[in-house]
Amino acid sequence: MKTKKSLTNILLLCLFLMFSMSLMAQQPKESRKEKKARQKKEQEVKFLNAKALLYDTAFVVPANNISLNNGQTFNINNTINFLRLSGHEGAIQISAYLAPDRGLNNTGELFVKGPITFVNFIEKNDRVTLSFLLNGETIKLRITVSICGSDQATVFVDQNIGGPAFQLSGKMVQFNDAQIYERKLYSR
């Protein structure tokens, strides 16, 4: 009895594999030129979507890595390290473990949330740049977000008095598609 069932299962599996292989053989092969054209078109669509998000000032850039002034680059967790804009409010969070005494390279976290002002857009060829001032309770940051022909964004963060602080990079996404954990502000 068991051998009949296992033989039937093997036969059904073989038929399924032959059917799926015949379907794959019927699909036309894509030439290298067609593949490049398709990839270019997909990249253009991603860039146009990112550009629309940038102009709407409604997006999240989950950071895949962060670069410091001295040239060091660190891969980081993009669920807790990000830049978020929603209309006239923004938040930037850089934190290694979301603990008060730890953060970027164990030197302290950065969490600034507040209204954005001095919003400026510059568009040149296939590069779009958004710069603004993020006004937190205790600190103001000058932030510049740049995309160039794709949905990959580079975010430059400067303190008003200290010059460039760091830069982070990641893919620009809608807020609903971002999987981020934003720290809550606690009053002391």
What is the tens place of the pLDDT at every residue in 91-146?
888 875 434 444 444 445 778 889 999 999 999 988 999 999 999 888 888 999 99
Share of the chain above pLDDT 70, in %: 76
**Identity of residue 12:** L
| 3-state secondary structure string across the chain | CHHHHHHHHHHHHHHHHHHHHHHHHHCCCCCHHHHHHHHHHHHHHHHHHHHHHHHHCEEEEECCEEEECCCCEEECCCCCCEEEEECCEEEEEECCCCCCCCCHHHCCCEEEEEEEEEEEEEEECCEEEEEEEEECCCCEEEEEEEEECCCEEEEEEEECCCEEEEEEEEECECHHHCCCCCCCCCCC
Give the strands of the sheet with 82-86, arranged side by side: 58-62, 82-86, 89-94, 110-124, 127-135, 140-148, 152-159, 163-171, 65-68, 73-75
**What pLDDT was estimated at residue 96?**
53
- Map out the domains of the chain with their CATH numbers: 50-177 (2.40.128.410)
**What pLDDT was estimated at residue 188?**
40
**Low-confidence stretches of the chain (pLDDT beneath 70):** 1-7, 15, 20-28, 96-108, 160-164, 181, 183-188
Could you tell me if 66 and 58 are in contact, meaning their C-beta atoms sit under 8 angstroms apart?
A: no
**What pLDDT was estimated at residue 25?**
59
**What pLDDT was estimated at residue 184?**
64
Average pLDDT of the chain, as a whole number? 79
Q: What are phi and psi of 66, to 5 degrees?
A: -135, 140
Whole-model pTM? 0.71
Could you tell me if 65 and 82 are in contact, meaning their C-beta atoms sit under 8 angstroms apart?
A: no
Tell me how crowded residue 130 is: count the other CB atoms within 10 A of its CB: 22
Could you tell me if 158 and 164 are in contact, meaning their C-beta atoms sit under 8 angstroms apart?
A: yes
